[in-house]
Structures are given as structure tokens and as C-alpha cells.
Amino acid sequence: MASSVTSTSAPASKDRSAQPFDRSTLEQTLTKRFFYAPAFSLYGGVAGLYDYGPPGTALQTNIISQWRQHFVLEEDMLELDCTIMTPAEVLRTSGHVEKFADWMCKDLKTGDIFRADHLVEAVLEARLIGDQQARDAESGTTSVSAETQVKEDDSKAKKKKKKGKVVAVKLDDAVKAEYSSTLAQIDNYSGSELGEIIQKYGIKAPETGNDVSPPVEFNLMFESSIGPTGHLKGYLRPETAQGQFLNFKRLLEFNNDRMPFASAQIGKSFRNEISPRSGLLRVREFTMAEIEHFVDPDNKTHPGFARVRDTTLRLLPASVQLGGKTEVTEMSIGEAVDQGIVDNETLGYFLARIHQFLIKIGINGSRLRFRQHMKNEMAHYACDCWDAEIHTSYGWIECVGCADRSAYDLTVHAAKTKEKLVVREALPEPRVTDRTVVEVNKKVFGPRLKKSAKVVEDALMAMSEAELESLRKALDQADGVEVKGTDGQGYKVDKEMVEVKRITVTEHVREYTPNVIEPSFGIGRILYALLEHAWWVRAGSEARGVLSFPIAVAPVKCLVQPLSNHSSFTPLVQEMASLLRSSGIPAKVDTSSASVGKAYARNDELGTSLAVTVDFQSVKDRTVTLRERDSTEQVRESVEEVVKILGSLVRGEKEWSDIRAEYPLFTQQATE
Amino acid sequence: MASSVTSTSAPASKDRSAQPFDRSTLEQTLTKRFFYAPAFSLYGGVAGLYDYGPPGTALQTNIISQWRQHFVLEEDMLELDCTIMTPAEVLRTSGHVEKFADWMCKDLKTGDIFRADHLVEAVLEARLIGDQQARDAESGTTSVSAETQVKEDDSKAKKKKKKGKVVAVKLDDAVKAEYSSTLAQIDNYSGSELGEIIQKYGIKAPETGNDVSPPVEFNLMFESSIGPTGHLKGYLRPETAQGQFLNFKRLLEFNNDRMPFASAQIGKSFRNEISPRSGLLRVREFTMAEIEHFVDPDNKTHPGFARVRDTTLRLLPASVQLGGKTEVTEMSIGEAVDQGIVDNETLGYFLARIHQFLIKIGINGSRLRFRQHMKNEMAHYACDCWDAEIHTSYGWIECVGCADRSAYDLTVHAAKTKEKLVVREALPEPRVTDRTVVEVNKKVFGPRLKKSAKVVEDALMAMSEAELESLRKALDQADGVEVKGTDGQGYKVDKEMVEVKRITVTEHVREYTPNVIEPSFGIGRILYALLEHAWWVRAGSEARGVLSFPIAVAPVKCLVQPLSNHSSFTPLVQEMASLLRSSGIPAKVDTSSASVGKAYARNDELGTSLAVTVDFQSVKDRTVTLRERDSTEQVRESVEEVVKILGSLVRGEKEWSDIRAEYPLFTQQATE
């Protein structure tokens, strides 16, 4: 069921390609139809905070419900709902207090704040456009509008005019190449590197021309305090993952101590972005869906891999990017794992399942790729990461990260809390190994070293096998050997005080810290990308937008409406609605006095899949028309038959092409 | 469908009443089965923060899904998903910055913090118990254990030992009566009244005996700051309602300007409680589901009222409570509205719908009542409020508030932002009214009053008709009249400067600010109450808990398991699971090596409704057993027939009593 790779939701493609994509038209429609809107706009708004209106909320709910079906239920994952408000200590241990930060610069005179990489990007991009204008002017060509090339900011940022100012100045060819190369690697720079770039290229605050401060770190977590004392610092979680790691022991027990298993969580996370932009793509509060798959580090095979191995993905490995290229390779995930392009089956399994999910909800497969992170851009906890990137009018956008967090999180929390976060597995047969160990002769060791005994013993116990072997040789050869205690001081030990020996150990249980593969979904980004992919404009006398969602995620599956607000239609409209409801088909009754044509147009923009209309004929013979959104085709059948058809479409048993093959198309009623 | 008033989920009652309810047994089971657990317990825990484990999350998801079905879909509400992080200005306007607070006292020596009402409650309750002990000792009776009578705190609070210390000291009869009366009104006191009580009764910090500070206000909102400057203060929302009010204009437009309509929102809210206690009942982060029903203040009839008017509710009006009584009156909501006990149809409609919802998800109707708030206990925005209270081992708990917020919120936001938040309705025929107005003669008014002209004009424009009539008379009688400007100063005006006159106005449009009826659900509280109501212990050789959830909210509908981990069972178990999945029946396969009896017991505690077992007979003839949780009855039918039975049960078309009437019970296999 879940293995189909191609989208079945695409409407007649000749229609859709008729007009080029225009973001502003889409945005106007999304605002008019209240998919989402800037939050607190009554109070002037706050950048990076959005409210979802009724169709946006329904779309989001349906995407989440599909996600839960596709991952939690089909894969039998252990879903959690953990706390958002998190004590600082937890996030200090996880590394977020220290490392979850962006670099910011201040305009030294006005105090305006910029995200350092965005500032460099804006200024260099503006200079490159200015260069192009100057070159065009020289050669007499007309340049493309500078305005449309500079990355668009959201409304709040626009007001602050943080965009780079374009002045037509020609650059040296070498400088131009340097700028391009800098821009290509913009995600890769550290704070000090960004500072050097700002110095080197004389980058100033775009609007004022003032100098900017060197980049300083700004932690992206929202801070608060828990309880009335004011002494317990807390942060709003920046990811849902930590709650899952902290519950690892309970989860393992719940799973009857069996490995591997996955937990999952859907919920809000928060990032106090320096300068949010690009609409829903970079926001301060967002819904995530995260999976933590706990796996034996020595065995990353996956029992379900055979089911997905033929799934074809578009891959962009790190090695290709380091060569300065961005061409994707299409190959089956089976091949990719066999060739070592994707590290292991578990990682590969999730890439394939992510792909299937995105296609199922309506993402265009030809605008989806999996890009591997380069070393410098990975989060502090990750050792490998592939992003599912979706192409939008803002470029390629990371919508799902699939990271191998190794044993990082469980290890740091265990070390901090002294709680073992491990799996204990009975070995099929006892494992006998030889091992070098050190023993302390308490009678001599303590009295000789006195209060330093502890720091020396700790240092000895922390030695690796190789270090112990060296120590053994040294002790054999000399009368005393200097050992560095955990306090950093040197202490002399000899053979009377310590014995280093080789012993044989028989183990019946294997103890290990699991590795974690983490597919992490940004629901808002996926939702926005889907809106762009589903949007097209129907050819006709005027611009009429359509949102062609697959029926599974469409905010409303079916509209039921009377031809007009004539009272004779009411009983049948009510009956139809109640029949649909009792058949479990979500329908919306619209008895507003709008014309049928207007109602169709409104519902095309809302992405409503199907529409039933009750007209004068219906009152006579209990037949109604059923219209399909993408083709605008209609059939006319009895109320009972239409309920049956709708049920088969909503449950995904049939598609519209099946219906039009089974029933005659109805073309008489020219209501549009 | 939604009008059934009695629960259909109750298991055989003779079994359930066999053992008295014991909270600690239930709590142990909930922890063991990971319904929920204290958050961050690896780090010592934080009071009032909980994580939901897999069965708790599934239960919550199913309750929310039923809620969405019952309210949003059946009532065609406009669902929103708004921002949690809220700029301070919004909550200043709504009154939360000033008024959303509790009273706290400090131990003057240790700095320990108490919620003032909890402190009074704990100390006076302890004294009353001590009094009872002293009286019992006098008369030679054995007292009930003091420990069990003092309200139990959660583990964190327990550690701090905030409970009142019980000492057997007899009180005067008059003092005893005063204490009881104080406790009965504990929710009704202001901070200064609590301070007086603390003084009067010599209340000290229970553990140290130290004096406590007079009560000071502590705002219950979590504070943070938005963006990198640190200048934009924000709070985590304490309710989801404000987001709905701020979007009123968009919602009205989305609803094609038609009234009445309701918006709804499900999401997290936050309250920084002073001393959280009582487990899930008083927490710092919680899921709410809120409805804002916008209605014409002049017409609070409800089109759906006829459908619910026969629903019988257990009501406890404010008038009864003010008489010191708590007896509920059972009556139909129709009667209650007719008699004016419930103010209007819309309020009554929602009380009935709330009742239906709670019964549907498994709340015991005889432990549910609707209590009207007394004037002093209402939130600052409410003018009337009925709580759906559910009886638990902690007493009667407010789980749903149904408040009439009147026009409070829309009015304050409109006044603050100067945006009209109103409905404009074309009048059926123009309305002609006479009205007294004031006009300023700009030529004289401005030059005479100079820079004070504005404050005087504003004051004149704000006058009521009655005030204007007085002004007119005064102007007619005297040469000049003193008017108080908006700056509080007096200014002289005369007939040359202003004219007060009677005019006739013809209105074609009526403009009004809607009233809001707000049913607000605490999902965590409902979930906890449901756990208590669903819990019972099966009579048998050992204590065995069962959670009898209705199938619609059960975390898992069906368990599929082999008799043992013998490999011959695997194919049929897999086939069964995949058949169920493709029929849309959520099932969980358990192939752990536990015995069937143990698996049944585990799943009874998880509230799993049904279990399919594959045994040796199954491999021969493709029949499997199907066991029902509450009765432990089984039938044995073919795989296909069992899928059919399961489908009808899960979709709610049939109940177990129908199945046992249709199929022979299977009693052979003694696997339990």
C-alpha cells in the first residue's frame, strides 16, 4: 500500500502547465482563504509567528493524521507527548545551551540587529546584481529586475529594509568569483569566519552604511523561569527529541526490552530566530514530528528493508557537493546502500519511507531530493545526516532531516545523571575474552599516597587497555613510574602499589548504548511546500486558482450545496449531509446565497475535492450532480449512488478516472 | 447519534463493584504501563510537568479525535491553530497581566513559598483532624487515620512536607464551625481576606512554625522575551482563547459574514502554578480544547436546541450553593432554560453537548455535575459560568468550564487597537430613531480653548444621551457651563461654542459586538477522571486491574498474538494483522514470549478492547479466538469472520452483547 512511488494526485497536466507559478498570487489566495496569517497583526504583528485558519488547520491535521498512520501505526512506534518547558540543566547536558546558537551583528550606531550570514548574503548578492546591471549597461542589454532577484523577506523584515541595496557597480572578475564562492558556502562558516568576510569585503549595515559589530553568538532558545522562586531556569524545547531520550528506560521496558524500536512525537517546538523570513519556512514556533529509532550500533540492518529496496530516490551525496556540483543521482535505495552511498539499511529504510510519505500527501517527486550534509553544517549531535529537500519558489528547502545521532544523547544524559541508559542483552552463548586490568594494593597504595590516593586510582581506572599495557611494561622495567592523577599532578607508583595483569572474562550479557536514527519533520515547511506544489491557475476568462490536494489531506473532502437558497432544496441538502456524515465522509454544507459557479471557484481555492449540488431536477428525481475539482467533470446519479461513489473516493479505493469510466459524464448543466 | 445520554461502555457492574477504589493501585498501574510519568525524573523531576507514554498519548489522541468529531465536524466550527508565544501587550489588554495571579506567602525565615489558600486549607484541615482525634480520645473511639484525611500532595510537594501537621488538640465548638465555614468558602477569598485569616487564626509555616509574609500576588504566566533585542516581552498563553478573539475579523469573513458561528482550538497552554499538586489535575503545561461561540447579544437562541432539550443534566446552581447546600437537581436542559436556571438556549445547548461528549468517551454520568460559579470565583472576563465537574478520588474536579465572556474580550482589544471588532448586519427594514447629539462650532471652539480643545471635545463626544440632555438644559439656563475635559480639568463652554440638539437618524445597518459563550475543556483532567472511572479490579486469585475504556477511545482496539513463539503461528499472525490494517482496524501485534494469560492481563491494564489469539487449532482450520476485555468471554470463528466482527465493533455498529447473541461462546481453551 505504501510502496507507490509516483503521485496519483496530479490533475490534468496540460492545464497545470498553462501558467507560470506566481508566488504573490498564491499568497493572496492563502490570505484571502485564511490558510494562515501573521499572528497578532491587530497589534502590529511579530515576525516569525503565524496563526493557521480553518483550511490551514484542517490541512495540518490531515497531514499529521497521515503521518501518524504511515509511521506510528504502520511501524508500531511508541508515541509520546512530552513537556515543552524544559529545565536548563537538561539542555545544558544535551549541548543546546552552549551550541544551539546563530551569529548576529549589530549596527554600531542604530543598534539594529542582523543575522550575520543573512547580512553577508544580502550584501554580496546585491553587489553581484549591481555588477550584472553594470555589465548589461555596458553591453546594452536589459537586466532582469534587481528587486525580483534579491531574496524576498517577510513583511516585518521588509519594513526594516534589511535587503541589500543594489547599485550598478562592475566588479573585478576575480572578486565576482570570490563572492559567488562565498555565497555557495554560506551555511558552512563559523562566527569568526563570517567576521573575517565582513572585514575583508567591507560589509556595512545595508540601510545606514554604518559599521557592524563582529559576530557574536545568540542562543536560539526562548528562556523562562519555572515556579515562583525565579531560581529554576527553563527553556522552551528547540526539538521534541530530548523528551524521548529522557524516557528511554521507560520506553525500552514498555517494549518488553526488545530492540530495535522507535519512539515518536508530534508537537510544538520553539526557536527564537534572529530575523525570521520566508513566511512559514523560518518561524519561531512550529510543529515537528520526530522519530527516534533506537538501534544496535553493531547491527543497523532493518527487517523492513526488503519492502522498500526498490524505491527510487534522487540523491545528492556530500562527496558530489564537495566537488562543487549539485546534480542528483537517481537510484534505488537498495543500490545506494549496497554501494555505501547511504551508510546502512536503517538509514536507507527511513529515507525511503520519508519519500513515500511525502509523495502520498502530494509533494511532486521531481521536486524532491535527498541531500547529505557536509561535515561542517551538521548539528552538534549528528554524525551523518540526509535532508529531504523540497523545491519551492524560495529554492531547495530542508523539510525533513534524517540524522544519525549515534549514541551522543543517551551517553551525555547517562554521564550527567549517573543513570545507565543502556540495553542489556543475554548473549546467545557466553563470550570469553582476555583483558588487561589494573588492581590497587590498598594496604600500600592508600598510606603512601594519602589524600591523593583517590585522584591516582581514578586515573588508573580510566586507562585504556593500551595505556595499561604500556604501564605494565614501564613497571617491569623501572622501579617507579610517574602517573598523572585526575588532578593533573604527577604521582609515582610502583609494583608494590599496583598490579597490572591479564585476565580472562566470561560475559553472559552484552551491554550497549543504542545508536539513534532520527527522522525529523518540519510540518509547517512541508505544508507550505505542498501548497506551492498543489497550486495552479485554471485557464479561462479570468485567473482562477486551484489547490489540487490529494483527497487524503484535502481540508474538506466534499461540499454539499443547493443551486440557490430556494427553500425547496433544503430537505435534500440536509438529507445528503446526514447520509454522508453517517457514512463517515466529512462534508461541509454551504447554504450561503453565492451562485454555484462562485461556490465552485471558492472551493477550488480551498482545495475541496468534490462538490454535490442539489438542483430543481434533484427535487423531482433524487439525483444530484457530483463535480470533481481538478477536471471540473461531473456525473449525475441518485443520492444513494453518489454517497457510494464518495465513500470509495474518500477511502482511496477509487480515483476519479475510475468513476468517469463507470458512469456517464453529465455535461448539460452549465452552472460554471 | 450524539444524543444518547447513558454510557454503553460499562462492563458487568457486579464485577466492578467487587472491590473499593484504591488510588495507589491505579497509580502504580499507570506508571508501570507508562500512561504518564513525571517529566525530567532523570534530573530529579519538576513539579507539575508530566510526559505521556504510549498508552496515555494514544488515549489523549483518541479523546481529541472524538472531540473534533463531536464539536468541530458535527457543528461545523472554524478550527484554528494559533501561536503560543504571545506579546505582553495582548495579555495586558486582555487583563491577564494584571489579574491572572494567585496569592503566595513566604516563610519569613526559610524563604519557602506557599500558595496562600492552600496553606490556610492545609493548616485548618489539620487542626480539624486534630480536634476529631482529641474528641475521639475523650470518648474512646478510634479515629480514622489522619494521614488519609489530609489532602495528598504530589511527590515533589511531599518532599517539601507542606502538609499540615496533625496534633490532637480539641477546639471550641465555635472555632470548629468557623474553620469549616472558612474551608467551604476557600475559593472565594481575596488576597487581603486570606491575609486576615492567616493573622486571625495564627497560621504559620507548617514544618518550621515560622511566621509567613502577608499574601502577595504571583502572576501565573511564564514570561520570556521574543527576538534578539530583549525588548519585546512575551508570555506563554494561559488559554487558547485570545488567539481566537484576535482572529475574529478573519473568521467572520471566512464564515461569509454570517452569525452566529463558533471557532475552536486544541493546543497547549501554560500556567506557572505556585505549588502544583494532585497529579494531572493541576499542572504547569496542559492541553486545552476551547470553543468560542460568537452570538448576537440580543438573540441567544440556538438552532440546534430542540435536538438536545430532553437531555437530562445534574445541575448545581449558584443560588443553591449560596444557601450552603450542594444537592444537585436533575432536570432536562429544556426545563432548565425554560425556568431561567440556565440563562439562555446557547449556554444550555453547550452544557448538553458537553454532557453528551463526556458520556460518549466513558465518563460515569452519575459522577458528573454542572456547577454554576458564584460571583466571586469567576474569572475576570466572565459574567456567568457553569463548570462540568467530574467526581474523582480528589473530590469534584472542574474539567470543562462553560463561561459567558459577554463582549469583554472583543471590546478591550478593539478599544486598545482602534480596530472595529463588530458584526454589521443589514436591518430587514431601516430603523428610525431620535437621538441627542452634540456639535462643536469649530470657528469659536478651537480659538477659545486653544490646545485644550481636544480634551474637551473628546469629553463631549463620550457623553451619554442623558448627560447631553442635562448639558442642553444647563446651556439654556446659564451663560456658560463647566465641562470636565478628559484631562480631569474643568472648562467653560457656552452656546456659541457647542450646540446640543435632537436629531432623527435612519439606520440601515445594525452594528454590534458579539457575545462569546466559551466551553473550555481541560483534556488532561478529563483524561485522568476517565482513568479513575474506567478502572476496576477483577475478582480472582490476585489483584488484576482492568481499564474499561469505550472502544472509541481505547489506546489499542485489538491485540493480535500467537499462543506461543512457536514459528508455525507467524504466518497467520502476520496475515491477520495485515487484514485488520487493510480494513482500517488499528491492531497491535505482540509476539513477545509472554504466556497468553500474562498478555491478557497486561492488555487489560492497558485497556485494550479485544484480543485475537492464533493457536494450534488456527493453523489447522484458520479459526482464531476473539476475547472481549470486560467479560473475558471468547468466540472462535474463521479469520475472515473475526475481521468482520472486529470491524463492526470498532466502527461502533455493534456491541459485544450483539456478538455473543450471534455467535456461540467458546469456553474450551483455558488459557487464562
Tens of pLDDT, residues A595-608:
888 899 999 999 99
**Residue of A35, A64, A82, A244 best to disrupt the B interface, most CBs of B under 10 A:** A82
Q: What is the mean pLDDT of residues A113-139?
A: 90
Q: Do B232 and A46 touch (CB under 8 A)?
A: yes
B90 and B208 both lie in a single domain:
no
Q: What is the mean pLDDT of residues A304-319?
A: 95
Q: Give domain status of residue A162, yes or no.
A: yes
Residues of A in contact with B50 (CB under 8 A): 83
ipTM: 0.87
Name every residue whose Cβ is closer than 8 Å to that of residue B181 and which is 6 or more positions away in sequence.
none
User: pLDDT tens, B180-206?
Assistant: 888 877 877 888 999 999 999 999 998
Give A585's pLDDT tier (boundaries 50, 70, 90): confident
Name the residue in chain A with its Cα closest to that of B413.
Answer: A42
User: pLDDT tens, A233-248?
Assistant: 999 999 999 999 999 9
Q: Give domain status of residue B536, yes or no.
A: no
B500 pLDDT more than 60: yes
Nearest to A201 by CA among A227, A223, A231, A181: A181
CATH number at residue B232: 3.30.930.10
A155 pLDDT more than 50: no
User: pLDDT tens, A524-560?
Assistant: 999 999 999 999 998 875 668 999 999 999 999 999 9
Name every residue whose Cβ is closer than 8 Å to that of residue A547 and which is 6 or more positions away in sequence.
A531, A534, A535, A604, A605, A606, A607
Q: Do A52 and B82 touch (CB under 8 A)?
A: yes
B440 pLDDT more than 60: yes
Minimal Cβ distance to A284: which of B76, B85, B222 = B85
CATH number at residue B561: 3.40.50.800
Q: Do B90 and A43 touch (CB under 8 A)?
A: yes
CATH number at residue A450: 3.30.720
User: pLDDT tens, B593-647?
Assistant: 778 888 999 999 999 999 999 999 999 999 999 999 999 999 999 999 999 999 9
Q: Give domain status of residue A92, yes or no.
A: no
Minimal Cβ distance to A268: which of B84, B243, B272 = B84
Give the domain-ending residue among B521, B546, B566: B521
- Residues B561/B593, Cβ–Cβ less than 8 Å: no
Q: Do A49 and B582 touch (CB under 8 A)?
A: no
Q: Give domain status of residue A121, yes or no.
A: yes
User: pLDDT tens, A68-97?
Assistant: 999 999 889 999 999 999 999 999 999 999
Count the neighbouring beta carbons within 10 Å of the beta carbon of residue B187: 11
Minimal Cβ distance to B268: which of A78, A84, A581 = A84
Mean pLDDT of chain B: 89
Q: Give domain status of residue A214, yes or no.
A: yes
Give A278's pLDDT tier (boundaries 50, 70, 90): confident
Minimal Cβ distance to B52: which of A73, A80, A651 = A80
Domain count, chain B: 4
For residue B111, is it left (φ>0), alpha (ψ between -120 and 50) or beta? left
Spatial separation of the C-alpha atoms in residues A505 and A434, rounded to whole Å: 6
**Residue of B3, B31, B51 best to disrupt the A interface, most CBs of A under 10 A:** B51
User: pLDDT at position A283, please?
Assistant: 95
Residues of A in contact with B60 (CB under 8 A): 81
Q: Do B73 and A586 touch (CB under 8 A)?
A: yes
Q: Do A268 and B268 touch (CB under 8 A)?
A: yes
Distance from CA of A558 to the nearest CA of B (A): 13
Distance from CA of A79 to the nearest CA of B (A): 5
Spatial separation of the C-alpha atoms in residues A425 and A509, rounded to whole Å: 5
User: pLDDT at position A14, please?
Assistant: 43
Residue B269 to residues B92, B239, B523, Cα–Cα distance (Å):
17, 5, 11
A284 and A383 both lie in a single domain:
yes
Q: Do B228 and A274 touch (CB under 8 A)?
A: yes
Give A383's pLDDT tier (boundaries 50, 70, 90): confident
- As a whole-number percent, the residues of chain B with pLDDT over 70 amount to 92
Name the residue in chain B with its Cα closest to that of A266.
Answer: B57
Name the residue in chain A with its Cα closest to that of B70.
Answer: A581
Name every residue whose Cβ is closer than 8 Å to that of residue B128 and which is 6 or more positions away in sequence.
B171, B176, B179, B180, B183
Which helix (H) or strand (E) segment holds residue B309: the answer is none
A309 and A405 both lie in a single domain:
yes
Q: Do A588 and B76 touch (CB under 8 A)?
A: yes
Give the domain-ending residue among A191, A219, A247: A219
- Measured in degrees and rounded to the nearest 5, phi and psi for residue A615 equal -125, -170
Minimal Cβ distance to B417: which of A43, A56, A80 = A43
Give A16's pLDDT tier (boundaries 50, 70, 90): low
Q: Do B78 and A42 touch (CB under 8 A)?
A: no
User: pLDDT at position A567, please?
Assistant: 87
Residues of B in contact with A114 (CB under 8 A): none
B453 and B503 both lie in a single domain:
yes
User: pLDDT at position A142, please?
Assistant: 58
B670 pLDDT more than 50: no
B187 and B230 both lie in a single domain:
no
Q: Give domain status of residue A4, yes or no.
A: no
Please tell me what DSSP assigns to residue A555: S
User: pLDDT at position A5, please?
Assistant: 34
Q: What is the mean pLDDT of residues A415-436?
A: 93
Minimal Cβ distance to A79: which of B37, B43, B57 = B57
DSSP lists the bridge partners of residue A637 as A624
Q: What is the largest CA-CA distance in chain A?
A: 112
User: pLDDT at position A167, please?
Assistant: 86
Residues of A in contact with B254 (CB under 8 A): 33-34, 53-54
Residues of A in contact with B222 (CB under 8 A): 85, 224-226, 234
A310 and A379 both lie in a single domain:
yes
A335 and A261 both lie in a single domain:
yes
DSSP lists the bridge partners of residue A348 as none
Distance from CA of B467 to the nearest CA of A (A): 33
Residue A197 to residues A120, A124, A147, A160, A177, Cα–Cα distance (Å):
8, 10, 24, 23, 14
User: pLDDT tens, A557-579?
Assistant: 999 999 988 889 999 999 998 89
Q: Do A42 and B413 touch (CB under 8 A)?
A: yes
B227 and B179 both lie in a single domain:
no
Minimal Cβ distance to B80: which of A1, A51, A272 = A51
Give B16's pLDDT tier (boundaries 50, 70, 90): low
Residues of B in contact with A53 (CB under 8 A): 78, 80, 247, 250-251, 254
Distance from CA of B613 to the nearest CA of A (A): 19
For the stretch B624-631, contacts whose Cβ atoms lie closer than 8 Å and that sit 24 or more positions apart, written own/partner, are B624/B572, B624/B576, B625/B666, B625/B669, B627/B600, B628/B656, B628/B659, B629/B11, B629/B546, B629/B548, B629/B603, B629/B604, B630/B11, B630/B12, B630/B15, B630/B546, B630/B548, B630/B656, B631/B11, B631/B12, B631/B656, B631/B660
**Residue of A216, A226, A410, A557 best to disrupt the B interface, most CBs of B under 10 A:** A226
Q: Give domain status of residue A275, yes or no.
A: yes
CATH number at residue B141: 3.30.40.230
Domain hosting B636: range is: 556-662
**Residue of A80, A81, A593 best to disrupt the B interface, most CBs of B under 10 A:** A81
DSSP lists the bridge partners of residue B637 as B624
Distance from CA of B621 to the nearest CA of A (A): 28
Cα–Cα–Cα angle for B668, B669, B670, nearest 5°? 110
Count the neighbouring beta carbons within 10 Å of the beta carbon of residue A182: 19
Q: Do A78 and B251 touch (CB under 8 A)?
A: no
A287 and A371 both lie in a single domain:
yes
Residues of B in contact with A584 (CB under 8 A): 651
Minimal Cβ distance to B82: which of A34, A51, A83 = A51
Q: Do B254 and A54 touch (CB under 8 A)?
A: yes
User: pLDDT at position B542, please?
Assistant: 63
Distance from CA of A324 to the nearest CA of B (A): 34
Q: Give domain status of residue A541, yes or no.
A: no
B229 and B81 both lie in a single domain:
yes
Name the residue in chain A with its Cα closest to that of B583.
Answer: A651
Spatial separation of the C-alpha atoms in residues A188 and A120, rounded to whole Å: 13
B12 pLDDT more than 60: no
A71 and A122 both lie in a single domain:
no
A305 pLDDT more than 60: yes
Q: What is the mean pLDDT of residues B477-502?
A: 89
Q: Where are the beta strands (DSSP E) in B70-111?
A: 78-80, 85-87, 101-106
Spatial separation of the C-alpha atoms in residues B165 and B504, rounded to whole Å: 73
Q: Do B227 and A50 touch (CB under 8 A)?
A: no
Name the residue in chain A with its Cα closest to that of B45.
Answer: A87
A433 and A496 both lie in a single domain:
yes
Q: Between A48 and B581, whose confidence is greater?
A: A48
Residues of A in contact with B104 (CB under 8 A): 228
Q: Do A80 and B53 touch (CB under 8 A)?
A: yes
Q: What is the mean pLDDT of residues A322-342?
A: 92
Q: Between A163 and A112, whose confidence is greater?
A: A112
Give the domain-ending residue among B171, B198, B219: B219
Count the neighbouring beta carbons within 10 Å of the beta carbon of residue B38: 19
